[in-house]
């Protein structure tokens, strides 16, 4: 069954020079320009307070930007009411009507839009089958599990056949296992229906698994926007590198082949093949790119003192002290707190950032 009787091609969303300053002076968005491709999932990722929800609400028409424009399908919707923009939003707390059945909740937006009864019934049935809640339609929200309630919440957005689906941390109130399951289910559904989606999360794993385009926001500005794969492979700033995958950042001063770090005055010898600029610099390396042992002589070698180990499953995340810095390594090794640990990274796995945080 298809929830979309509307077979028009998906539309893109563009935000141009969007700014939002709240009356108390808080700048939630500061000159944000982003293109969200038609039919794809754009994930907005960033720490708490960076402006993700505000951006979504500006697209929805629930917030009026201070300046800039939102275009949906190439049309400037700045003067268009929220209800007429062809967008639907799914919230973290699905806010279903507690006294209505699942069916009543799904049908309500259609009723408000004046859709005739027979069409309401068939559209609700199609969406319910799609979301595998067709056996639960007579239940009220209180008689549904968290995951089932969230399916009803998504169904209520889809039943309107929106051009654009806006999702604000839709699965964050679910427990870890269910969250992963719902995420995969949603991805399959999105691939099948192809609705343009803007998806807000602060969870980097969720972001990597869903994003066709990943947008990292920091304090109301776009830090980087590209494919998830590219962002992970080549983070444009040290902020993105640390936020996405928890890269270790060794920030110090490079002089004559050695990286001088806080609390580590002798400095680390840098691999000669890596073009590290002289002066203040950050050398980044991911925990999974550190390997046990001293390497080949061409590698960056770190001598750590183990301060904490976390079992991840097959591997351990070992937290080591290097001068005043903490370095994390993802290793198969069995190691105790207090032990010396020597790890190395291949030059190809090092990321360099300048004092401004930009990749160099």
Residues at the contact surface with ligand ATP, assessed by CB under 6 A: 22, 24, 26, 28, 46, 48-54, 202
> Shortest distance, CB of residue 200 to ligand ATP, whole angstroms?
6
Q: Looking at residue 4, what DSSP letter applies? A: -
Shortest distance, position 21 Cβ to ligand ATP, whole Å:
9
- Check: CB of residue 4 under 8 Å from CB of residue 194: no
> Closer to ligand ATP at the Cβ: 24 or 177?
24
- Pairing between β-strand 164-168 and β-strand 196-201 as defined by DSSP bridges: parallel
Backbone angles phi, psi at 292, to 5 degrees: -70, 150
- Of residues 48 and 64, the one with the C-beta less far from ligand ATP: 48
Q: Using CA atoms, how far apart are residues 269 and 251, in angstroms rounded to an integer?
A: 14
Nearer to ligand ATP, 46 or 287 (CB): 46
Tell me how far, at minimum, the Cβ of 352 lies from ligand ATP, in Å: 29
Q: Give the Cβ contact number of residue 349 at 10 Å.
A: 16
**Secondary structure percentages of the chain, helix, strand, coil, to 5:** 30, 35, 40
From CA 355, how far away is CA 360, in angstroms rounded? 10
Nearer to ligand ATP, 8 or 64 (CB): 64
How many angstroms separate the Cα of 96 from the Cα of each of 129, 140, 169, 170?
A: 19, 9, 16, 13
Determine the straight-line distance between the first and last CA of the chain, rounded to whole angstroms: 51
When the beta carbons of 139 and 202 are compared against ligand ATP, the nearer one is 202
In the bound complex, what is the minimum distance in angstroms from residue 269's beta carbon to ligand ATP?
A: 41
Q: How far is the CB of 237 from ligand ATP (least distance, A)?
A: 18
Closest approach, Cβ 151 to ligand ATP, in A, equals 23
Contacts of 224 (CB under 8 A, 6+ apart): 214, 215, 216, 231, 235, 236, 237, 240
Q: What element of type H or E holds 124?
A: helix 117-130
CA dihedral 345, 350, 355, 359 (to 10 degrees): -170
> Residue 171 Cβ, how far from ligand ATP at the closest point, in Å?
14
Question: Whose Cβ is closer to ligand ATP: residue 11's or residue 41's?
Answer: 41
In the complex with ligand ATP, the residue whose CB is nearer, 62 or 352, is: 62
Reference 69, options 34, 104, 98, 102; nearest CA is 34
Rounded to an integer, what distance in angstroms lies between the CA atom of residue 160 and that of residue 81? 16
Choose between 28 and 96: whose C-beta lies nearer to ligand ATP.
Answer: 28
Min. distance of Cβ 24 from ligand ATP in angstroms? 5
Q: How many CB atoms are closer than 10 A to CB 337? A: 11
Q: Which is nearer to ligand ATP, 47 or 135 (CB)?
A: 47
Considering the complex, what minimum distance in angstroms separates the CB of residue 47 from ligand ATP? 7
Cα 149 to Cα 168, 170, 202, 358, distances in angstroms? 15, 11, 22, 43
């Amino acid at each position: 069954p298809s929830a979309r009787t509307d077979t028009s091609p998906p539309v893109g969303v563009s935000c141009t020079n969007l700014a939002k300053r709240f009356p108390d002076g808080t700048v939630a968005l500061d000159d944000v320009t982003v293109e969200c491709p038609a039919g794809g999932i754009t994930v907005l990722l960033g720490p708490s307070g960076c402006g993700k929800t505000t951006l979504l609400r500006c697209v929805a028409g629930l917030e009026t930007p201070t300046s800039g424009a939102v275009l949906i399908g190439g049309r400037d919707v700045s003067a268009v009411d929220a209800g007429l923009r062809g967008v639907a939003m799914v919230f973290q707390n699905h806010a279903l009507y507690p006294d209505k059945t699942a069916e009543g909740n799904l049908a309500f937006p259609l009723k408000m839009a004046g859709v005739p009864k027979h069409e309401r019934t068939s559209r609700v049935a199609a969406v319910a089958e799609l979301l595998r809640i067709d056996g639960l339609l007579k239940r009220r929200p209180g008689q549904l599990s968290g995951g089932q309630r969230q399916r009803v919440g998504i169904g209520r957005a889809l039943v309107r056949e929106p051009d654009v689906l806006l999702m604000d941390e839709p699965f964050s109130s679910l427990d870890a296992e269910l969250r992963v399951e719902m995420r995969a289910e949603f991805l399959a559904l999105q691939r099948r229906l192809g609705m343009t989606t803007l998806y807000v999360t602060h969870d980097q794993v969720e972001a990597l698994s869903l994003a066709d385009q990943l947008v990292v926001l920091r304090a109301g500005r776009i830090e980087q926007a590209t494919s998830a794969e590219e962002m992970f492979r080549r983070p444009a700033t040290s902020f993105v590198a640390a936020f996405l995958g928890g890269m270790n950042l060794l920030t110090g001063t490079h002089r004559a082949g050695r990286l001088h770090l806080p609390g580590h005055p002798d400095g680390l010898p840098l691999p000669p093949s890596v073009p590290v600029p002289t002066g203040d610099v950050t050398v980044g390396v991911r925990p999974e790119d550190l390997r046990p042992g001293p390497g080949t002589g061409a590698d960056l070698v770190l001598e750590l003192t183990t301060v904490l180990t976390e079992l991840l499953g097959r591997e351990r995340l070992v937290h080591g002290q290097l001068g005043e810095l903490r370095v994390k390594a993802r290793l198969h090794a069995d190691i105790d707190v207090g032990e010396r640990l020597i790890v190395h990274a291949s030059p190809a796995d090092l990321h360099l950032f300048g004092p401004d945080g930009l990749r160099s």
